[in-house]
Amino acid sequence: MPDIIQLLPDHLANQIAAGEVIQRPASAVKELLENAIDAGATEIQLIIKDAGKELIQVVDNGKGMTPMDARMSFERHATSKIRHIDDLFSIRTMGFRGEALASIAAVAQVDLKTRPHQEEIGTHLVIEASEVLKQEPAACPPGTSFAIRNLFYNVPARRKFLKSNTSEYKHIIDEFTRVAMAYPHIAFRLFHNNTEQFRLSAGNQKTRIVELLGNKVEKTLVPVEEDTELLRIHGFIGKPESATRTRGNQFFFINGRFIRNAYLHHAVATAFEGLIDKEAFPFYVLFLELDPQRVDVNVHPTKQEVKFDDDRLMYAYLQSTVKHALARFNIAPALDFTLDTEIQNMEALRLPQSPAQKDSTREGYLYQSFSQGGKAHFLEKSDDRQQWNTQREKLFTPLPSLPEIPSAHDTTGGKAQSELSFSEGADHQQPVLQWRDYLISTMKSGLLIMHQKRALERIQYERLLERINHEHTVTQQLLFPATLQLSPADAALLEELLPFLRKLGYDISPFGSHTYAVQGAPPDVPAGREQVLLEEILEQLKHEAQLKDQRQEKLLRTMAKRMAQPTLLATEAAAALIDELFACAQPQYTPDGARVFTVLPREGLENLL
């Protein structure tokens, strides 16, 4: 039997390794920025073209490399950070695995120029698919300029699976944000297609967060600071009103490195318990600094997952620190078992009660009600009882019968349902009972129970879909245009959504860098919510991955859900809502598949009694 196991060629092994480290342009951006930080740079420029597919270039003023170091940096497992096995347990630098540059060079065309500050001449290196095409002396400024062109040009299958430019650019923004947020003392600049997107000056942590995430977060920031023997925790959390229904504004950094850790997130979330909804995500930017020997950062190629030697202790420290910050700034109530001095000085506590005061108290209504047996819950006769009886008669008055409704499995399809009108047979005066989020009415075969908000979602969705399909654009101009200030990532997403939003009735135009003027909105949008609705749509869509063809459908569903605002309805309005729902093509379910109404059959109701 012939031997079948063979060693992979170096170029093929490098391409396979590149798949673990370099998954998309943003992965290369992360590695290059981290190398620039490790080089001691104080100024870093990131230049992007075509969302990184054409060009990714990082220019820094770090210490640079010698000709030999420049050549060796592209070899697999070549690193300046590790000398002994013990070094793995005391890592404080960013890149140390020795795989990033070799992986990049295997799937791209690389152009490197570098010069140490003490040297007069630098080095120019050109590599394609792991093959060194040129290495020669060159005149260049001190530091390093690393350019990646045509990423995955020799791996067509991998390049084919890259997302749209908007999606890939958003991932680049995310990586840039994480690195820049962790190092506020370093100045950063970002250019995309020859347009400057970020200019971040060296400063403090709060200023850097506001520059990256927008001015709207500034008023919600609450400082966190706790220094213990085990670790130091510092950074900012958001006030409860800054919590959102989607992830995205949660940042953990361990010794300057961004990580993802569901266990630590749970610690922060429980500290907010009782202050935000259970389904909401609090805002936080937290930095944890501890002995590198207590954390293992080498458990994942991207180094975004770590392991601690004592997870429960980290959990307890983090939770108590966040709770303390909330209480210290009067956001969460803190228990105080001391009696207020003003209360202690009141005459009722200081002076003894006289016999006359005691007799007067005993004759009072409250004293007799709570001192005699059976008096504590005594209810005197009054007009309130008569009012309750009247209200009870109204609530339990039988409702007139309404027409039969086809079942969900009716073979006649949705058309029969859409032709049904709940106003028929009742002279348009049939009462509809509203209880909390539900509308309750009767029909010949039983009781109809409808969820008002879900019904509104279905109605709004079909209205919006009608406008998109038939281009029936209707815009309500605003008396006072609203100004929308966005982060670069949100602005990129809005640019992609603008054609759809304009078809739906939004009148939006650019108004400066990452700023837009909202001059008109669809007539269905509640007054005063034109800007808020856009912000909620962006917040929902930017954290959910979907294909480009699915973007319009997701936009319609999100808008319908946000525009559905249940209110207390009069009988006529409630009946009209039911009519409009059953005029829809699919009245039974929301666009997300939730049940809109149910019918309790008469037989089932009779069995309950």
Going by pLDDT thresholds of 50, 70 and 90, the confidence category of residue 17 is low
The yes-or-no verdict on residue 344 having pLDDT over 70 is no
Residue 402's pLDDT is: 44
Percent of the chain whose pLDDT exceeds 70: 75
Give 250-281 as a DSSP string.
EEEEETTEEE--HHHHHHHHHHTBTTB-TT-B
Most confident of 187-191, 432-436, 552-556: 187-191
Give 309-364 as a DSSP string.
S-HHHHHHHHHHHHHHHHHHTTSS-----SPPHHHHTSHHHHSPPPHHHHHHHHTS
Reduced to 3 states, what is the DSSP secondary structure of residue 444?
Answer: coil
First to last CA, the chain: 81
More confident residue, 303 or 431: 431
Structure tokens at 496: 């992609």
What does the chain come to in residues?
609
- Give span(s): CATH 3.30.230.10, the chain: 206-328
Give 164-204 as a DSSP string.
-HHHHHHHHHHHHHHHHHH-TTSEEEEEETTEEEEEE-S--
Burial class (CB in 10 A: 0-12, 13-18, 19+), 336: exposed
More confident residue, 19 or 438: 438
Going by pLDDT thresholds of 50, 70 and 90, the confidence category of residue 140 is very high
Give dist(CA 485, CA 491) in Å, integer: 9
Q: Which residues contact 30 (CB under 8 A, 6 or more apart)?
A: 175, 178, 179, 302
10-203 architecture in CATH? 2-Layer Sandwich (3.30)
Residue 556's pLDDT is: 87
Going by pLDDT thresholds of 50, 70 and 90, the confidence category of residue 546 is low
Residue (of 482, 479, 469, 454) closest to 560 by Cα position = 454
In terms of CATH, what superfamily is 392-609? MutL, C-terminal domain, regulatory subdomain (3.30.1370.100)
Q: What is the DSSP letter of 458?
A: H
Residues 492 and 166 sit within 8 Å (Cβ to Cβ): yes
Q: Which of 15-24, 330-339, 392-401, 479-488 has the lowest mean pLDDT?
A: 392-401
Reduced to 3 states, what is the DSSP secondary structure of residue 495?
Answer: helix
The tens digit of pLDDT for each residue in 320-339 reads 999 999 988 777 655 444 44
Give dist(CA 93, CA 34) in Å, integer: 9
Percentages helix, strand, coil for the chain (3-state, rounded to 5) are: 40, 20, 40
The yes-or-no verdict on residue 550 having pLDDT over 90 is no
Q: Which of 348-362, 368-382, 477-491, 535-549 has the lowest mean pLDDT?
A: 368-382
Phi, psi of 451 (to 5 degrees): -85, 115
Give dist(CA 492, CA 486) in Å, integer: 9
Taking residues 231-251, what's their average pLDDT? 87
For tokens 């209360």, the residue is 343
Burial class (CB in 10 A: 0-12, 13-18, 19+), 1: exposed
Taking residues 156-166, what's their average pLDDT? 84
For domain 206-328, give its CATH number from 3.30.230.10, 3.40.50.300, 3.40.50.10490, 3.30.70.20.
3.30.230.10
- Give span(s): CATH 3.30.565.10, the chain: 10-203
The yes-or-no verdict on residue 158 having pLDDT over 90 is no
Q: Which residues contact 187 (CB under 8 A, 6 or more apart)?
A: 42, 43, 44, 200, 201, 202
The tens digit of pLDDT for each residue in 377-423 reads 454 554 555 555 555 554 444 444 444 444 444 444 444 343 343 43
Residue 18's pLDDT is: 62
Taking residues 97-102, what's their average pLDDT? 72
Residue (of 537, 571, 576) closest to 555 by Cα position = 537
- 270-275-276-282 Cα dihedral, nearest 10 degrees: -60
Structure tokens at 214: 């927008």
Helix (H) or strand (E) holding 496: helix 488-504
Most confident of 74-88, 107-121, 275-289: 107-121
For tokens 């540059």, the residue is 101
Q: pTM to 2 decimals?
A: 0.68
- C-alpha separations of 39 from 57, 173, 175 in Å: 16, 22, 19
User: What is the greatest pairwise CA distance in the chain?
Assistant: 114
The tens digit of pLDDT for each residue in 577-602 reads 888 888 888 888 998 888 999 888 87
For tokens 């059953």, the residue is 582
- Give span(s): CATH 3.30.1370.100, the chain: 392-609
Taking residues 343-372, what's their average pLDDT? 61
